[in-house]
Homo-oligomer: A and B are copies of this chain.
Amino acid sequence: MPKVVDHRVRRTELADAVMRLAAREGLSLISLRYVAAEAGVSMGLVQHYFGTKDEMFSFAIQVVRERVEQRLADRSAQLGAEPQPRQAAEALLRELLPLDDRRWLEGHVGLAYAAYSAVRPDLSAPLREQTRQLREFLTVQIRATRGERDGMLPSADVAATTLVSLVEGLSMHVLTGHLSASEAVAAFEAQLAVAFGAAPEAVPAKKGQR
């Protein structure tokens, strides 16, 4: 074997270029040459590591998914062994909102891919599994918190579904400029209180405009 090159590393570098372009200019005008230019390499190299454009795209979306998963795992570990259910749920979901540059970029990529994979369902299968797990986790956390009485509150799995979908919708509205980050956070926090039936703890109602 000649020059030792870790394929995964190189491919990930290229996937990074893809993501930058997807976030900055949109998925549509991503070409092999454009990716090569963005990554600062030759086009032959891109071809060397990805036989086809679709393969490159699939890999890139997989990288995004793994990163999100990693971030969630990190955040989870950071909470310790026996975190309070509500704190855990809040931490994980908040991690999905586009509240800083990195997550804003990832959100854009995610949005682009959501539209893309709405047409190519094969690509969205792993992502689907990921959100399913998240929903399941939330259901458990919610159930653990309010075992006693869940009066007229929605059932735990409905509450979990609502939280996940709400975060998705809020993210989308932030990314498209329909909402400011602080508005999104306010709505999210309020919903968290609803789902866990927890203390109102004086929602500050700080509403920064755009």
**A interface, CB within 8 angstroms of B:** 24-28, 108, 111-112, 114-121, 124, 127-128, 131-132, 152, 154-155, 157-159, 161-162, 164-170, 172-173, 175-179, 183-184, 186-187, 190-191, 193-194, 200, 203, 205, 207
Contacts and interface: CB of A to CB of B under 8 A. Distances in A.
Contacts of A26: 115-116, 118-120
Contacts of A169: 164-170, 172
Contact of A158 (B108, B159, B203): B203
Contacts of A190: 154, 158-159, 162
A132 B111 CA distance: 21
B24 A176 contact: no
A165 B177 contact: no
Given A155-B203, A158-B203, A187-B165, A177 B119 contact: no
